[in-house]
């Protein structure tokens, strides 16, 4: 004490401790940072190369690429655009979300709030459901597509006929051709089923972040599980639910194979969901690949670029919402 | 524990007429109502509500209006059942119980609807793929396939596709997994100003459509070189990377900070801490997330169309010439108009499904191992199954609650 007081002021200054990282550590940090920036670079390269290779298509069509509906990439006067494919993607995604959201949220709530750990003492419902949902996310899209085409489609044409006959006054359900297979509705349901596991697992994660204090407080005040869901879980998980639904939307927009198997591709813009014919950007790329000459390839890459930009924008917003809501909880 | 027992209690007044003494006013006792308690009588209520609503819909649907179709039937039956279930519970218990039970039924139905496609899908793939499965189909290729014949031996096989899938996925894992683990280490261990943006980028990338990865590799690689299995592997690596990164990141978060601090207190450099303490502690979770990423990438079809192109013959060289993959073979086959060729597509899909399933089960088993290591509260030790007789001198006041002693092994070498 006295020793310190007797010292000159310059020596009393607190010592700043610095760690000098060893060369190995700096190398390690460098590699890890490099990997982190690698993701930036990959994303940047995707945008750059798609743009470079799709320039011929944009030069040929200009802004028409976004407003044309046909797909004529060869011959004297090529004329093509993604308008119909874009609108088709939107229609399929909306149907998919209408199918997926209620089921996914219900399933997530069941796993998180209602499911007992063990039924009859030995059936681990909770773990089993979680695993099954994860497995559904890993099932290849080709298998969903096959199942949709060969199993679901025959089952759904009856409902489509009914919709068209009884709700045909709504233009959406009107069927002008009398052909009910290969329609937007079937694609939408299949894509919705494919979105379900993603939305479910994300929602489940968000629901489980509900602070236990609030949950138990509500229960000790006599709230039933339904009330806890309505008054505690939902208000806390609102942002995360919106984010996970948007991530599901991103997946729905990008689904190629299942749509390509089911839809009978048609280029006019079509909003009649029960009617055969339609398309989506991803299915357009998958189905048209290898045809249409060099300009055709360029046009498909341009369509890929459009899809990339849309999904990237949606996913950026969604992941921001999910991350910020998570950060707020923790 | 106590909260578990106390929650969900509604207190409903029940009048109990006191018959013995009329001068004393009727005593009001409080009856506890617990929606969570599901007694045999409640099962009966559930069953009877379902049955009666089924009968009503049957009369309405099949007898009066002569409509048909299973879908329409179910669409009417479910709301009617929910309504009836609500009414019965409202009459027997309280409003809260009725609402809780109805919400519970809706939520359970949602879980059931979720499982339905998975079950139907599995049955479909096995049913369609199994009949023509044989050793010959698994090992032969489509070389010299005669499309018109119906014989057993000219439908071709999926051997070249199995080889292609295995080679491409292995290569993709070789590129993708180290990059993914390093990225996760960057986000979680190294950190810095860009941590948050890298996390957002990774999440956004994991949502990038697979087909975009395909056209990207086409524009950057295939246009210069040519179609090859290697290009397919690159596309799969682009898909694998964000999936594995996100899983790994979650796993690294779970590693206790004490371990890192202990390691640093022993003067271990940072790389040593990550390599010898953090990653080994998270080992099983790490393997789970890697295997899940691999399972997803095995099944990708769309990016392979524009990278490996597909062929009919065996091509063992992953770097040169078009290759085939199971998913792509299946996609190409089911578009053909010949039944025997569609059947081959089913078989390819079945093989694919089995591969995904095996990898997935391996991942789940490993993650259960992780649960044991972490000593999660849901796992109970053997002690809690011992029955204690009340009144016996040996019995403690409270039955023992399962305790898992966490044991984490880590070692730090001297002199680093």
Q: Tens digits of per-residue pLDDT, B168-223? A: 999 999 999 999 999 999 998 887 788 888 888 888 888 889 999 999 999 999 98
Handedness of CA B132, B136, B142, B143 (dihedral sign): negative
Q: Say which of A141, A144, A312 has its CB closest to residue B208.
A: A312
Q: Which of A30, A35, A107, A330 to mutate to test the interface with B (most CBs of B within 10 A)?
A: A35
What pLDDT shows up at residue A224? 87
At A328, is the pLDDT very low, low, confident or very high (cuts 50, 70, 90)? Answer: low
Name every chain A residue with its beta carbon within 8 A of the beta carbon of B371.
Answer: none
Closest partner CB to B349 (pick from A25, A37, A143): A143
For residue A97, give the nearest of A252, A206, A271 by alpha carbon. A252
Distance from CA of A236 to the nearest CA of B (A): 19
Q: Looking at the structure, tell me whether residues B57 and B189 fall in a common domain.
A: no
Task: Tell me how many domains chain B contains.
Answer: 2
- Average the pLDDT over A199-223 and give the result: 89
Spatial contact of B102 and B86, defined as CB atoms under 8 Å apart: yes
For residue B55, the distance in angstroms to the closest alpha carbon of chain A comes to 22
Q: B237 and B369 share a domain?
A: yes
What was the pLDDT predicted at B384? 32
**How many Cβ pairs within 8 Å bridge chains A and B?**
313
For chain B, the average pLDDT equals 79
Does the distance separating the beta carbons of B269 and A24 come in below 8 Å?
yes
Least Cα distance to B354 among B288, B299, B304 occurs for B299
Residue of A nearest to B177 (CA): A35
B250: confidence class by pLDDT, cuts 50, 70, 90? confident
Decide if B198 and A261 are in contact by the 8 Å CB cutoff.
Answer: no
The H or E element containing residue B385 is none
Window 29-48 of A, Cβ < 8 Å to B: 29, 31-40, 42-43, 45-46
The pLDDT value recorded for residue B26 is 56
Does any domain span residue A25? no
Burial category of B118 from C-beta neighbours within 10 Å (exposed 0-12, middle 13-18, buried 19 and up): middle
Cα distance between residue A123 and residue A34, in whole Å: 46
What letters, b where the CB count within 10 A reaches 16 and e where it falls short, cover A58-95? bebbeeebeebbebbbeeeebebbbbbbbbbbbbbbbb
Q: By residue range, what is the domain housing residue B79? A: 33-111
DSSP three-state, residue A200: helix
Per residue in B9-40, pLDDT (tens digit) is: 444 444 444 444 555 555 566 666 776 777 77
pLDDT of A251 above 80: yes
What pLDDT was estimated at residue B126?
94
Section B90-119 average pLDDT: 90
Answer whether residue A50 is part of any domain: no
Structure tokens, A198: 């993603």
pLDDT digits (tens, 9 = 90+) for A106-132: 999 999 888 877 777 677 888 889 889
pLDDT of residue B302 exceeding 80, the answer is yes
CB neighbours of residue B350 within 10 Å: 23
B144 class by beta-carbon count within 10 Å (0-12 exposed, 13-18 middle, 19+ buried): exposed
B9 vs B327, more confident: B327
Cα–Cα dist A226/B94, whole Å = 14
CA dihedral A240, A244, A249, A251 (to 10 degrees): 150
Q: Could you give the angle at the alpha carbon of B195 between the alpha carbons of B193 and B199, nearest 5°?
A: 150
| Angstroms from A246 CA to nearest CA on chain B | 10
Is A15 within a domain?
Answer: no
Residue-level pLDDT at A329: 53
pLDDT, residue A302, reads 93
Distance CA B15, CA B28 (A): 5
Looking at the structure, tell me whether residues B278 and B370 fall in a common domain: yes
Could you give the residue ranges of the DSSP H alpha helices within B130-228? Answer: 135-139, 159-185, 195-206, 210-217
pLDDT mean over B389-402: 38
Arithmetic mean of pLDDT, A84-89: 92
A323 token code pair: 């991350």
% pLDDT > 70, chain A: 93
Mean pLDDT along residues B238-264:
90
Q: How much is the pLDDT for B393?
A: 36
Q: Within this chain, do residues B332 and B263 fall inside the same structural domain, yes or no?
A: yes
Beta-bridge partner residues of A80 = A71
Q: A268: which residues sit within 8 A by CB, 6+ positions away? A: A69, A84, A277
- The pLDDT value recorded for residue B405 is 42
Q: Could you give the 3-state DSSP secondary structure of residue B13?
A: strand
pLDDT above 50: residue A46:
yes
Q: What is the pLDDT of residues B71-82, one digit of tens each?
A: 778 888 888 999
Q: Are residues B197 and B68 in the same domain?
A: no
pLDDT at B387: 32
For residue A283, the domain's CATH number is: 1.10.3720.10
Q: What does the pLDDT average to over A213-225?
A: 89
pLDDT bin (cut points 50, 70, 90) of residue B365 is confident
Same domain, yes or no: B163 and B105: no
| Residues of chain B positioned with their CB less than 8 A from the CB of A156 | 71
Nearest residue of chain B to residue A299 (CA atoms) = B215
Cα distances (Å, whole numbers) of residue A240 to A191, A218, A278, B280? 22, 21, 33, 32
Mean pLDDT of A164-181: 82
Residues B163 and B107 occupy one common structural domain: no
The answer to whether residues B344 and B370 touch, using CB atoms and an 8 Å cutoff, is no
pLDDT digits (tens, 9 = 90+) for B33-62: 776 777 778 888 888 888 888 888 888 877
Q: In whole angstroms, give the CA distance from residue B379 to residue B363.
A: 19
Largest CA distance in chain A: 101
Going by pLDDT thresholds of 50, 70 and 90, the confidence category of residue A252 is very high
Confirm whether A305 is domain-assigned: yes
Q: Which of A26, A28, A100 to mutate to test the interface with B (most CBs of B within 10 A)?
A: A28
Q: B150 or B393, which is more confident?
A: B150
Same domain, B201 and B344: yes
10 Å Cβ neighbour count for B277? 23
The two beta strands, A79-80 and A71-72, are antiparallel
A280-307 average pLDDT score: 90
Predicted complex ipTM: 0.88
The pLDDT, as a whole number, for residue B244 is: 92
What is the number of residues in chain A? 330
Nearest to A229 among B103, B186, B223 (CB): B103
A1 domain residue, yes or no: no
The pLDDT, as a whole number, for residue B412 is 47
pLDDT at A27 over 80: yes
- Predicted local confidence at residue B23, as pLDDT: 52
> B197 with B255: CB under 8 angstroms?
no
Average pLDDT for residues A134-162, to the nearest whole number? 90
Q: Are strands B10-16 and A71-72 parallel, antiparallel or unpaired?
A: unpaired
Residue B21 lies in a domain: no
Q: What is the CATH number of the domain that holds B326?
A: 1.10.3720.10
Question: Residue B133: what pLDDT?
Answer: 87
Q: What is the pLDDT of residue B379?
A: 34
In chain B, the percentage of residues whose pLDDT exceeds 70 is 76
* pLDDT of B399 strictly over 90: no
Q: Where are the extended beta strands (E) located within A33-163?
A: 71-72, 79-80
Residue of A nearest to B306 (CA): A289
Residues B105 and B201 in one domain: no
Q: Is residue B363 part of a domain?
A: yes
Is residue B415 situated within a structural domain?
A: no
Q: How far apart are CA B358 and CA B346, in angstroms?
A: 18
How much is the average pLDDT of B281-302?
A: 89
Q: A20 pLDDT exceeds 60?
A: yes
Which residues span the domain enclosing A192?
Answer: 71-329
Highest mean pLDDT among A257-261, B40-44, B332-336 belongs to A257-261
Q: Both B166 and B107 in a single domain? A: no
Q: How many folded domains does chain A comprise?
A: 1
Q: Are residues B166 and B99 in the same domain?
A: no
């Amino acid at each position: 004490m006295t020793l310190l007081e007797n010292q000159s002021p310059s020596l009393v200054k607190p010592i700043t401790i610095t760690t000098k990282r060893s060369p190995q550590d700096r190398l390690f940090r460098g590699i890890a940072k490099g990997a982190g920036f690698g993701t930036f670079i990959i994303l940047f390269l995707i945008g750059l190369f798609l743009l470079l290779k799709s320039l011929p298509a944009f030069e040929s069509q200009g802004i028409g690429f976004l407003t044309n509906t046909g797909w004529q990439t060869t011959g004297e006067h090529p004329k093509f655009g993604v308008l119909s494919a874009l609108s088709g993607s939107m229609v399929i995604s909306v149907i998919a979300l209408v199918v997926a959201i209620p089921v996914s949220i219900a399933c997530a709530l069941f796993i998180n709030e209602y499911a007992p750990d063990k039924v009859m003492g030995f059936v681990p419902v909770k773990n089993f459901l979680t695993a099954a949902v994860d497995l559904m996310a890993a099932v290849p899209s080709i298998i969903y597509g096959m199942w949709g085409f060969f199993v679901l489609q025959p089952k759904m044409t009856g409902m489509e006929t009914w919709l068209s006959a009884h709700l045909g006054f709504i233009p959406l359900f009107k069927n002008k051709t009398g052909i009910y297979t290969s329609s937007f509705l079937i694609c939408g349901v299949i894509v919705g089923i494919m979105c379900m596991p993603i939305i479910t697992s994300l929602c489940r994660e968000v629901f489980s972040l509900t602070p236990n204090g609030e949950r138990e407080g509500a229960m000790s005040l006599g709230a039933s599980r339904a009330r806890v869901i309505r008054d505690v879980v939902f208000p806390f998980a609102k942002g995360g639910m919106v984010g996970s639904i948007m991530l599901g939307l991103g997946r729905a927009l990008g689904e190629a194979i299942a749509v390509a198997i089911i839809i009978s591709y048609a280029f006019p813009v079509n909003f009649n969901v029960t009617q055969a014919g339609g398309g989506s950007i991803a299915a357009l790329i998958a189905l048209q690949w290898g045809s249409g000459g060099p300009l055709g390839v360029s046009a498909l890459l341009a369509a890929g670029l459009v899809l990339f930009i849309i999904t990237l924008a949606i996913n950026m917003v969604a992941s921001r919402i999910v991350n910020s809501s998570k950060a707020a909880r923790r | 524990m106590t909260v578990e027992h106390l929650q969900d209690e509604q207190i409903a007044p029940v009048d109990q007429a006191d018959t013995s003494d009329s001068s004393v006013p009727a005593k009001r006792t409080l009856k506890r109502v617990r929606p969570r308690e599901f007694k045999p009588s409640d099962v009966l209520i559930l069953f009877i509500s379902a049955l009666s609503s089924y009968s009503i819909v049957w009369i309405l649907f099949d007898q009066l209006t002569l409509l048909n179709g299973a879908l329409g039937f179910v669409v009417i039956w479910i709301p009617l059942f929910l309504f009836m279930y609500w009414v019965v519970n409202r009459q027997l218990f309280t409003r809260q119980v009725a609402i809780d039970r109805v919400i519970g039924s809706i939520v359970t139905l949602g879980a059931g609807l979720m499982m339905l496609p998975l079950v139907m899908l599995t049955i479909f793939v096995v049913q369609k793929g199994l009949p023509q499965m044989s050793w010959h189909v698994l090992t032969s290729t489509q070389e010299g396939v005669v499309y018109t014949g119906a014989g057993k031996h000219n439908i071709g096989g999926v051997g070249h596709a199995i080889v292609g899938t295995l080679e491409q996925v292995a290569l993709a894992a070789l590129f993708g997994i180290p990059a993914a683990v390093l990225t996760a280490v960057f986000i979680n261990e190294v950190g810095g100003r860009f941590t948050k943006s890298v996390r957002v980028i990774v999440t956004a990338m994991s949502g990038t459509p697979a087909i975009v990865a395909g056209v990207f590799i086409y524009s950057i690689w295939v246009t210069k070189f040519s179609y090859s299995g290697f290009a397919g592997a690159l596309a799969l690596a682009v898909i694998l990377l964000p999936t594995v990164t996100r899983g790994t990141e979650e796993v690294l978060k779970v590693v206790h900070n004490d371990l890192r601090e202990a390691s640093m207190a022993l003067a271990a450099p940072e790389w040593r801490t990550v390599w010898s303490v953090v990653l080994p502690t998270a080992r099983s979770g790490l393997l789970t997330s890697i295997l899940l990423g691999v399972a997803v990438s095995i099944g990708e079809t769309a990016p392979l169309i524009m990278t490996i192109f597909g062929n009919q013959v065996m091509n063992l060289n992953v770097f040169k010439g078009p290759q085939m993959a199971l998913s792509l073979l299946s996609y190409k086959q089911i578009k053909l108009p010949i039944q025997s060729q569609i059947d081959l597509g089913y078989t390819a899909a079945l093989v694919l499904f089995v591969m995904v399933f095996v990898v997935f089960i391996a991942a789940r088993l490993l993650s259960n191992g992780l649960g044991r290591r972490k000593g999660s509260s849901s796992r109970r030790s053997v002690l809690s199954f011992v029955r204690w007789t009340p009144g016996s001198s040996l019995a403690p006041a409270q039955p023992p609650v399962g305790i898992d002693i966490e044991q984490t092994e880590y070692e730090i070498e001297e002199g680093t």
